[in-house]
Amino acid sequence: MRHALSLCLVSHPLSLSLFLLAYNILSYCSLSLSLCLSSLSLSLFSLSLSVSLCLSLSLSLSLSVSLLCLCLSSLSVSVCLCLCLCLCLCLCLSLSLSVSLSLCLCLSSPSVSLSLSRFKDLPDYVKIVEVGPRDGLQNERGLVPTEVKVELIQRLAAAGLPVVEATSFVSPKWVPQMGDHKAVMQQIDRQPGVSYPVLTPNIKGYQAAVEVGAQEVAIFGAASEAFSRRNINCSIDESIERFRDVVDAAKQDNVLVRGGCATSHGRLLTLASYVSCVIACPYDGPTDPAVVARVARKLYDMGCYEISLGDTIGVGTPHAMAEMLDAVSAEVPPEALAVHCHDTFGQGLSNILISLQKGIGTIDTSVAGLGGCPYAVGATGNVATEDVVYMLNGLGVKTGVDLDLLVDASIFISNALGRPTASRAGAAMQAKRAAAERQRQREELEQQKKEAA
């Protein structure tokens, strides 16, 4: 049958021309549909591709017309004219549709148009846990006034952040910056729907926190033996046992606990936990994901409602983050996990994005990129809240955070500390505001000159 079809097409130019015509139309339709359904379209690429499509169809259709000319001697004039007219109409349609498609793609995407379908399985909503007032400020060399801390917390809550970690009930001997923890908790004006968790390393700190109205506390552990011993002077298992009294007391008091492991830290819902060094340790090197999973599971079984997994020294990459999350998610439900990324190597946002794709819906961030790790040389601050919110807004993921008010809070604390923000998005928005203000002043001055004249 294939031989018969080939013989027919070769022997009859009319059959060949009609076959090419049908092939051209089908090719155009399929390629146009592919362009329309494509999840990644670059405007210049789309234009060149459409032009190439147009040229190829034109050449192919010209060939069809040439073949038809061979049939003129055996066909009536009217039939030949009809066929030529049909081919010309198809050529015009091909040209117009190709140009229209190119223009539509260029107008809808001036530079690069990324369809959100490229980022599959993203959550509709992400809870941002703001750790700036505690984790961000605790390593500041100069003491930050209590009123500045309180004002920062108020501004962050007003920006729509659902969780603002307020302070840490650790010994002022070890962390002098947090020595005013009671005053901070007593002075903040708590807003409905906003949680103000505090870090409590032991039962003494927990009791002091509850006395001043703390309704959610966080404990912290590590996934690195060396980090645990240098940070809290005990092994991983010993540190977890030390927290048992805190967890039991929190259950009796109906207080949420957040837990964590290191490569950074973990948290619970009235009891949350931080886990440090989940990717790597400044002393031990890379952390075994299985160890992180074991620590997270112990904290979860103990009663921590949420485990925050921290890349304490910021060396993680998306691959390492995905590998670690796969291991931990096999032991702890993803909805009970959070990630806490530092941006030492500029991988913070990438690691957060891969975490979202792995089902994580809670992200720790720090306004203006405040923070660091005193045990990790070169470790920079946490991922800036402004950068994360900006990225999530672009992905269509809801956070409930007002980015403009968040930038206001960032400007406030940056001015108070006497240094520029570490947030790229925050710095860009500040520059845009400054440019708009200069333009307004110029226009106002010109208007005054006109009125004076």
Residue 400: inside a domain: yes
Kindly state the greatest CA–CA separation across the chain: 105
CB count, 10 Å around CB of 20? 19
Contact 331, 293 (CB under 8 A): yes
Mean pLDDT of 64-75: 55
- pLDDT of 16: 52
- Backbone φ and ψ for 45, nearest 5 degrees, come out as -65, -45
Q: Which of 95-104, 117-126, 309-318 has the lowest mean pLDDT?
A: 95-104
- pLDDT of 109: 47
Mean pLDDT of 269-286: 83
- pLDDT of 69: 59
Whether the pLDDT of residue 15 is over 70: the answer is: no
Residue 365: inside a domain: yes
DSSP 8-state code for residue 216: E
Q: In a 3-state reduction of DSSP, which class is residue 221?
A: strand
Residue 391: inside a domain: yes
Q: How does DSSP assign 355-395, residue by residue?
A: HHHTT--EEEEBGGG----TTSTT---BPBHHHHHHHHHHH
Distance CA 195, CA 215 (A): 8
- Catalytic choice (106, 304, 341, 373): 373
* Residue 444: pLDDT band with limits 50, 70, 90: very high
Mean pLDDT of 325-333: 98
DSSP 8-state code for residue 261: E
- pLDDT of 447: 92
Distance CA 225, CA 297 (A): 17
* Residue 317: pLDDT band with limits 50, 70, 90: very high
Detail the DSSP E strand segments found in 25-134: 40-42, 112-114, 127-130
- pLDDT of 230: 84
Region for residue 418 given its phi and psi (left: phi exceeds 0; alpha: psi -120 to 50; beta: otherwise) = left
Q: What is the mean pLDDT of the chain?
A: 81
Contact 130, 194 (CB under 8 A): no
Whether the pLDDT of residue 433 is over 90: the answer is: yes
Domain count, the chain: 1
Higher-confidence residue of 157 and 46: namely 157
Q: Which of 35-49, 72-86, 123-137, 337-351 has the lowest mean pLDDT?
A: 35-49
- pLDDT of 264: 35
Residue with tokens 């672009």: 394
Distance CA 323, CA 311 (A): 13
- pLDDT of 231: 78
- pLDDT of 332: 97
Distance of CA 400 to the CA centre of its chain: 15
* Residue 64: pLDDT band with limits 50, 70, 90: low
* ∠ Cα 375 376 379 (to 5°): 135
Residue 284: inside a domain: yes
Mean pLDDT of 90-112: 54
Residue 326: inside a domain: yes
Distance CA 31, CA 219 (A): 57
CA-to-CA separations, 111 to 45, 61, 355, in angstroms, rounded = 10, 33, 27
Q: Work out the angle between the directed axes of helices 43-69 and 13-37 (0-180°, nearest 10).
A: 170
Contact 216, 270 (CB under 8 A): yes
Half-sphere exposure of 31 (CA within 13 A, CB side): 20
Higher-confidence residue of 115 and 453: namely 453
Annotate 381-400 with b (16+ C-beta within 10 A) or e (fewer). bbbbbbbbbbbbeebebebe
Q: Which of 180-194, 234-248, 391-405, 429-443 has the lowest mean pLDDT?
A: 234-248
Residue 367: inside a domain: yes
Torsion angle defined by CA atoms of residues 296, 162, 371 and 241, in that order, rounded to the nearest 10 degrees: -30
Contact 304, 271 (CB under 8 A): yes
Q: What percent of the chain clears pLDDT 70, i.e. is strictly above it? A: 69
- pLDDT of 350: 97
Helix, strand, coil percentages in the chain from 3-state DSSP, rounded to 5: 55, 15, 30
Q: Which of 122-136, 181-195, 223-237, 402-416 has the lowest mean pLDDT?
A: 223-237
| Structure tokens given for 194 | 């906003």
- pLDDT of 4: 47
Contact 304, 248 (CB under 8 A): no
- Backbone φ and ψ for 342, nearest 5 degrees, come out as -105, 155
| Active site (annotated) includes residue 86 | no
> pTM higher than 0.75 for the full model?
no
Q: In a 3-state reduction of DSSP, which class is residue 161?
A: coil
Q: Which of 39-53, 117-131, 224-238, 362-376 has the lowest mean pLDDT?
A: 39-53
| Structure tokens given for 373 | 């790790």
Higher-confidence residue of 301 and 98: namely 301
Q: Which of 129-143, 227-241, 414-428 has the lowest mean pLDDT?
A: 227-241
Mean pLDDT of 82-110: 56
- pLDDT of 216: 92
Q: Which domain holds residue 214?
A: 127-258+267-436
pLDDT in tens, 22-58: 656 655 565 555 555 544 444 444 554 555 555 555 5
Residue 119: inside a domain: no
- pLDDT of 261: 44
- pLDDT of 258: 76
- pLDDT of 299: 93
Q: Which of 10-19, 300-309, 373-382 has the lowest mean pLDDT?
A: 10-19
CATH assignment at residue 283:
3.20.20.70
Distance CA 389, CA 403 (A): 7
Contact 169, 206 (CB under 8 A): yes
- Burial class, 56, CB count within 10 angstroms (exposed 0-12 / middle 13-18 / buried 19+): middle
Residue 32: inside a domain: no
